[in-house]
Structure 1
Amino acid sequence: MQVLKFGGTSVASAENIRKSIAIVATAVGQGEVVMVVSALGGTTDALIGAGRAAASADPSYSEALNQLQHRHIAAAQALLDGGVQKSEADAITVQFVELRRFCDGIFALGELSARTLDKLMSYGELLSSRLVAAAAKAQGLDAVWADARQLVRTNSRFGTAEVNTAATEQQVAAFRAKNPGKVWVVPGFIGSDGHGVTTTLGRGGSDYTAALLAAALNADVLEIWTDVSGMMTADPRLVRGARPIDRISYQEAMELSHFGAKVLYPPTIQPVMRRGIPLWIKNTFAPADYGTLVEVKPPRTAAVVQGISSIGNLTLLNLEGSGMVGIPGFSMRLFAALARERINVVLITQSSSEHSICVGVNEADTATAQVAVDEEFAVEIAAGRIEPLRPERELAIVALVGENMKDHPGISGKLFGALGQNGVNIRAIAQGASEKNISTVIRAADVRKAINVLHEAFFEATYKQVNLFILGPGNVGSKLLEQLAHQQQHLLEKLGLQVRVVAIASSRHCIVNEQGLDLTAWPAELADAPPQSLEAFTQLIISRNLRNSIFVDVTANPAAARCYPHLLEKSIAVVACNKVACSSDYAHYARLKSLSTEFNASFLFETNVGAGLPIIGTLNDLTRSGDVVRRMQAVLSGTLNFVFNNYDGTRPFAEVVRQAQTEGYTEPDPRLDLSGSDVARKILILAREAGEVMEMSDIEIDTFLPPACLDGDVEAFYTQMAAHEAHFRALYDEATAAGKRLKFVARYADGHAAVGLQQVAPGHDLYDLRGKDNVVLFYTDRYVEQPLVVKGAGAGAEVTASGVFADIVRAARV
């Protein structure tokens, strides 16, 4: 004996009904079959809507019923031929005449009781099952329609009737004796009480009907045919990488279905679980797929976690007060107060101090629960021994489920670590002694991110998805995007990082695609994009709430730097090419570093000092290992090094500077480089990273530019440099005459820092610095006489972009 249940989508149209009947025809070859069917997809909701409209004196219920009638007759016409078609269409018409009279009565009374609603909803399954039975006969099956109201006996609790199992089994046995060898077509969801009044079995009622019949018939298998290929490791609407679970235990399936898995509902499992009947979840639209087999003892697998599920629309009710400590009976009274109002408790957790107890309930029950509990403890609240109940709304439960979790230490740590790294705050935790389920309560807004993070951690060990929001697709930014496009496959294969550029924003426009932008087409897309402010872009990053998000600032915009705290507070990593934040007031710099630590969000800015050179990384390694930096001597401007390496008096100084700007070695405003301000920022950042509390005003800047060069705009700057060529020639001639070279040097020693032009003699570490190279000499407690030297190209869009790229990889691998 096999019981096959087909859900609303499986019988939503004539084509789908044919597919379902074909599945049953195949099953008949293996033995007797019971076919349980739901209402045509969407019918139950339409009937409820019609009933409520009628009760509200809204005549639109009549049109709703017309549409339903047309849909059912159209299905009959598509499935049946000749006289059978006419007979079935007539039967449907008769049922809708009944249904209209019934709704007219609701309209006249202006009332829709639970009993009346059960009767109204029953028409959905009654109509579909009779239609399917007629179609099955037309397809050559020896089918008989079985009225579930004559099979499933319940009490009179309308809406969620409780089943009388003994009476149901007797009636099923009697029907079987009268219909040996036939294919039963049974409406799900409905039954009747001892007076023959129609009742319904509540949420998942058709599955429950199938399970009751399977248990009563001691079936070999119960198959649930739906529109997905089994239970999934996570909700596929939230997690693109979710995959079917091949085999699972009843206990695990129960946990997953309780915590929101939509394929099954908890009461469904119980009748077949008691009898040890296998339950198979299959896909009507992909019948060859294996699906999920639910068993008493499935084969042991290496999977520690079987699935991740969630419940939304949750409220936490927190009862607390010093008057609870050591006093028995508070928990009992709390649960009794909720039970009297028929409020289901989804989750329970209590502090070991007994100072508080917390329960989770459906959000719709919040107001009722608050009144009930406050009334129950009114005396204690008035006396100040207990605080009034505090509801926390807009929450959800995310649960890990798996029998093997109890044998593997560290699962909870991995769960909390993955959520913490992505800024998902846990409001409450519940774990049973069986360790089959670890439940966490989080903000409802974080559910999508949380489930994806956990699915990645427990099911997708092959790669980690990283989502980039890039601000500033200019010279450096465009090179970065080129490098990302070129290296995406390498990052996936070698480092296990699936790096997606989710958004690109310029000073005026922004393009977004949560699945990842096409890195070959972004310039045209950005040009056509609507305007967007920096504030709106920041809010976009926060509101998207994607896992492993990194904000990449490839600008010199002070306003962009002011956004960093808001992002770090949301556990969004920040990679900054922009020097403004780290060279601003020390208090702001320190706050950013503190936020990075507090919210476990990387704040990386290697390119602030040496483009692609690992200067800050090397300095951090020294200090983390306990070394102390005593002195630093450095050439930190690739621009100035390029200028003084190429200026020999044969060309005007202004022309050499213009070349440096044209080749992309300068800041957008070259005065920042030549005035020494940019170098001062860099030595300030290094001093701070070495542990010094220092402000920009503490840096001594010895500029070599005549004051007139700093007046006006950039073109005036070039004009004034040309006018003062004799000054620059004199600097060069003086150094050459002494056998030395000009270098713009940054110095730090014992809490003091300065930058300025120096004549460097042969043999010095800075003397042979060529092209646009940078160099830093670290003198520490370990490197006393011979410094630790970091040297290499320190300017140019390509190397700067590579430095940003490296920081992105560091942030992604945390």
Structure 2
Amino acid sequence: MTKVVHKFGGSSLSSAARYQAVANIILGQCQAGDCVVVSAAGKTTNTLVKLWQSYVQKDDNGFNDILLQVENHQNQLLSELFDSQQANALSSQLKDELQSIAKAAKGDSLHEATLLAHGEIWSARLLARLLSTLNVESQDVDARTLFTQHQGQLLHAQNKQACLAQIKADKIYVVTGFIASDCDGKTITLGRNGSDYSATLLANYVDAKAVSIWTDTQGVFSTDPRKVSSAIKYPKVCRVQANLLARLGNPVLHAKTLSPLKDTNIKLQVRSSFDPEVVGTEIVKQGYSKDKRFITTFDELDLIRVEGLAVGEVRTLSQLIQHSIHHFNKGGEDYLLVPSKDTHAVASHLAGRGNIVESHLRGLAIVSPSHETAHLTQQAATVLEQQDVVVRFTHSDGSYALFLTDQSIDSDVLAILHDKLVNKGRELAVIIAGLGNVGEVFVEQCQKQVEKLQATFDLKVVALVRSKEMLFCPSGINIGSWQQQWRSEAQAYQPEDLLERIGELDYENKVVIDITASDAFSNMYPSFVAHDCHLISANKYAGTAEQTWYGKLLEQLQERNLHWRYNTSVGAGLPINFALADLQNSGDTVTRIEGVFSGTLSWLCSSFDGSKAFSELVLEAQSMGYTEPDPREDLSGRDMQRKLLILARDLGLQLDVDDIALEPLMPVHLADGNWDSFLAKREALDEFYQSRYEQAQSQGKALRYTGALEVDAQGKVSAKVGIAYAEAGSAIANLTPGDNIFVITSQWYESNPLVIQGPGAGKEVTAAGIHSDLYWLTQKLK
């Protein structure tokens, strides 16, 4: 059974190297029974059109010169792709066909469609033979044996039967695009760029699951990415908008391509044969994607007003000129937008019913959600006026607006329009997981922060997630009243439910913000990335996971061009991760990091002066919310051990948590049992700390709990978290209770290390640090 129909256009087959690249794509993407539809190689069809024009004009010399160009191009492909024996055999076959063309021309019996069909026939034959040399069972198929028309109408039942009879599950079939036959067996064409149409027709007839249109662009963009570098590639575009863009002349998809997919579940993707690893754009049914914003430009059009336009006449005219024609009604009158070079043919067919209103027009069309069209039309008119672009005709029709102008819309004007009309509409869906102390403050801060970011970005919080419940609203949650919405709409969920809902989100960008302390939630990161989500973490578990898992996550993020920010996983709101990245990016080499990375242990050690027992200080910190519910989690040092590992990995060091020596700030046996048993043995903690405090005092030093990482000249790494005796007067000895401190020694900061110090805990500063990561992400996405 055919699973996928792949279509490769002329640019994908423009040289021997491109044929080889396409063959490699087929090797990786196809299986037996799949079909490959091909266009003529490179500019072959254009050359054959010139050949026909020379024939019509009785220009024998021109005809012979062009025929020689065709022969040379095809022979060059053969010689570069095959050994001499295979190339000679194919060249001999080509020579016979070219002689037949010359003979028909001489006998005045050359047929246009039959002539043009040779481009696709040669492409299919060549690609099938190339696949055979790569030990792929393949066969070229002439679509004239599959597709039959009668009086311009495809015979669908007959065609389906023919396709199912010829397309089996035993090999890969390389099918000619663009061509079909009539009931008398004569060649007809499906219009210029008809190979896309051939592919979707074939997919319909063989009940394929998907169609991949391989082009020279990575998908469907908000505007021409060759003219505007900030053009947005959309992951999904609905069929209605894609069809409108095609009618307006957008070259990525063509007007008839989508019609065979109507009322089917066949998936359609646009992908780049030049970047096959890049995820393309999926064209989906209405309702499966929100409407997007587009700007498409055009040159050399005539505007024709038509009297008495008949039903189906636009289609007849499109077939006549083999080009899509946009039709609209304004003020009760019918208008056609026609390529200037085809105006004469259209006017002749209309026989006096068509009047040219404006000629040799340029301009643009804005395609957008219908509720935005009026506003965007006004904005566009203002920009065009400011840029001295003369508008000769305008038309708006709910889902699009036309501006027909004197001059072409150059790249500079298009970039300004895109920035004003499209880039501000870029969307970011935010999923917030963890609504504890920090999470609630972060959400409270969101209302003001989202308003700020929305000046340049359409940011919506679409989900709030707790351990067992979630509130999910794809159109955006009202942050100002989220608690009320939570009470009425939050539902129980399983991890797969959350992933399914994220997968259904139709946003250009998505980010999961993890403010949990959940190891299980961090284990979902690869699944989030697989759903094209950026990550922002206050959670330390993923950053300290086993090295192999961690390395694979980084690879997955890089492959999908996604970002992961985790500045608050170490140092709350302090910019330690930013600083390490900046040092390395500027060419510096970090050799040592030492400091206190726990606000809790900072407060305990800096506050202790011997006036009260250390356990009393621990209980005081617990009552003020400075510690974990069980303070032994802080005293164990494991939290600082994880933070030091995150910093080590920021330096590119491949360590696991067990590679960092750990000395707890309590006797080891106190970790056993429950909290009550610990309280019963608290004197052991007091004796443990008092003895080390006195030792520090005897040396004139300060007792601190630090993490230290050092890389020697040979690259050997040593790392430890534990009790340290800081020199009196040093930054670590003078640490303000509750502060974190990072002392960074590097090639450039060797004699005078770089010190970063500030609050190492606190709901507000941590939440603000997460917002800093979110702001950084939006700037990167811009």
Q: Tell me the TM-score normalized by structure 2.
A: 0.52
Whether contact under 8 Å (2:237, 2:292) holds in the other structure is no
The Cα offsets for residues 730-765 of structure 1, whole Å up to 9 and x where unpaired, read as: 332332343322211111112221111111112323
1:452 corresponds to 2:288 = no
Match of 2:142 among 333, 347, 350: 333
Match of 2:741 among 756, 760, 775: 775
How far apart are 1:325 and its partner, in Å? 6.2
Report 1:6-25 matches (<5 A): none
1:323 corresponds to 2:283 = no
Match of 2:442 among 480, 505, 510: 480
1:749 matched residue in structure 2: 710
Report 1:501-650 matches (<5 A): 501-528=461-488, 529-650=490-611
Match of 1:690 among 640, 648, 651: 651
Match of 2:681 among 720, 726, 747: 720
1:499 corresponds to 2:459 = yes
1:410 corresponds to 2:226 = yes
Amino acid corresponding to residue 453 of structure 2 in structure 1: L
Amino acid corresponding to residue 557 of structure 1 in structure 2: S
Distance 1:409 1:674, change over 3 A: closer
2:773 matched residue in structure 1: 807
Amino acid corresponding to residue 586 of structure 1 in structure 2: Q
Counterpart CA distance in 2 for 1:698 and 1:598 is 28
How far apart are 1:432 and its partner, in Å? 9.9
- Three-state SS of the structure 1 residue aligned to 2:618 is helix
The Cα offsets for residues 498-555 of structure 1, whole Å up to 9 and x where unpaired, read as: 3321111111211122222222332344345332223322332223343321111111
Counterpart CA distance in 2 for 1:787 and 1:446 is 59
The Cα offsets for residues 394-416 of structure 1, whole Å up to 9 and x where unpaired, read as: 569999xxxxx99976248655x
Whether contact under 8 Å (1:676, 1:701) holds in the other structure is yes
The Cα offsets for residues 297-318 of structure 1, whole Å up to 9 and x where unpaired, read as: xxxxxxxxxxxxxxxxxxxxx9
Counterpart CA distance in 2 for 1:708 and 1:694 is 28
How far apart are 1:695 and its partner, in Å? 0.9
Counterpart CA distance in 2 for 1:683 and 1:547 is 35
How far apart are 1:796 and its partner, in Å? 1.3
2:209 matched residue in structure 1: 393
2:424 matched residue in structure 1: 462
How far apart are 1:561 and its partner, in Å? 0.7
2:282 matched residue in structure 1: 443
Distance 1:407 1:714, change over 3 A: closer
Whether contact under 8 Å (1:576, 1:608) holds in the other structure is yes
Distance 1:799 1:434, change over 3 A: closer
Whether contact under 8 Å (2:462, 2:472) holds in the other structure is yes
Amino acid corresponding to residue 444 of structure 2 in structure 1: E
Whether contact under 8 Å (1:341, 1:372) holds in the other structure is no
The Cα offsets for residues 591-634 of structure 1, whole Å up to 9 and x where unpaired, read as: 11111111112111111111111111211222233332221112
Amino acid corresponding to residue 760 of structure 1 in structure 2: A
Counterpart CA distance in 1 for 2:208 and 2:767 is 45
Whether contact under 8 Å (2:432, 2:512) holds in the other structure is yes
Whether contact under 8 Å (1:633, 1:778) holds in the other structure is yes
Counterpart CA distance in 2 for 1:325 and 1:524 is 64
How far apart are 1:718 and its partner, in Å? 4.3
Q: Which moved more, 1:385-394 or 1:467-476?
A: 385-394
Whether contact under 8 Å (1:664, 1:796) holds in the other structure is no
How far apart are 1:581 and its partner, in Å? 0.9
Equivalent residue pairs, number: 463
Counterpart CA distance in 2 for 1:670 and 1:710 is 10
Match of 1:670 among 631, 642, 651: 631
Report 1:349-428 matches (<5 A): 371-373=161-163, 375=165, 386=174, 392-393=208-209, 410-411=226-227, 414-415=230-231, 418-419=233-234
1:260 matched residue in structure 2: none
Q: Tell me the TM-score normalized by structure 1.
A: 0.50
1:653 corresponds to 2:614 = yes
Counterpart CA distance in 2 for 1:395 and 1:715 is 65
- Three-state SS of the structure 2 residue aligned to 1:791 is strand
Distance 1:410 1:508, change over 3 A: same
The Cα offsets for residues 276-296 of structure 1, whole Å up to 9 and x where unpaired, read as: xxxxxxxxxxxxxxxxxxxxx
The Cα offsets for residues 392-449 of structure 1, whole Å up to 9 and x where unpaired, read as: 53569999xxxxx99976248655x5336x999xxx99x9999743337343559855
How far apart are 1:686 and its partner, in Å? 0.9
Amino acid corresponding to residue 695 of structure 1 in structure 2: D
Whether contact under 8 Å (1:635, 1:775) holds in the other structure is yes
Counterpart CA distance in 1 for 2:175 and 2:225 is 37
How far apart are 1:702 and its partner, in Å? 1.6
Amino acid corresponding to residue 372 of structure 1 in structure 2: A
- Three-state SS of the structure 2 residue aligned to 1:573 is strand
Counterpart CA distance in 2 for 1:394 and 1:677 is 50
Amino acid corresponding to residue 465 of structure 1 in structure 2: E
The Cα offsets for residues 560-589 of structure 1, whole Å up to 9 and x where unpaired, read as: 011100111221111111111110100111
Whether contact under 8 Å (1:570, 1:599) holds in the other structure is no
Unmatched runs of 5 consecutive residues or more in structure 1: 1-317, 346-363, 400-404
Counterpart CA distance in 2 for 1:340 and 1:633 is 78
Report 1:59-98 matches (<5 A): none
Distance 1:690 1:384, change over 3 A: closer
Counterpart CA distance in 2 for 1:667 and 1:608 is 16
- Three-state SS of the structure 2 residue aligned to 1:601 is coil
1:736 corresponds to 2:697 = yes
- Three-state SS of the structure 1 residue aligned to 2:742 is strand
Distance 1:326 1:717, change over 3 A: closer
Whether contact under 8 Å (2:140, 2:175) holds in the other structure is no
How far apart are 1:778 and its partner, in Å? 2.1
Distance 1:433 1:685, change over 3 A: same
Whether contact under 8 Å (2:461, 2:477) holds in the other structure is yes
Distance 1:504 1:756, change over 3 A: same
Whether contact under 8 Å (1:793, 1:799) holds in the other structure is yes
Report 1:137-152 matches (<5 A): none
State the Cα RMSD in Å: 4.3
Distance 1:410 1:563, change over 3 A: same
1:793 corresponds to 2:609 = no
How far apart are 1:320 and its partner, in Å? 9.0
Distance 1:717 1:800, change over 3 A: farther
Amino acid corresponding to residue 457 of structure 2 in structure 1: L
Amino acid corresponding to residue 252 of structure 2 in structure 1: I
Counterpart CA distance in 1 for 2:728 and 2:289 is 59
Counterpart CA distance in 1 for 2:144 and 2:752 is 73
Distance 1:681 1:319, change over 3 A: farther
Counterpart CA distance in 1 for 2:211 and 2:544 is 40
Distance 1:407 1:533, change over 3 A: closer
How far apart are 1:657 and its partner, in Å? 2.3
Amino acid corresponding to residue 128 of structure 2 in structure 1: G
Larger Rg: 1
Counterpart CA distance in 2 for 1:406 and 1:508 is 39
Counterpart CA distance in 1 for 2:773 and 2:702 is 34
Counterpart CA distance in 1 for 2:607 and 2:291 is 57
The Cα offsets for residues 755-780 of structure 1, whole Å up to 9 and x where unpaired, read as: 11111112323122112111212222
Distance 1:545 1:726, change over 3 A: same
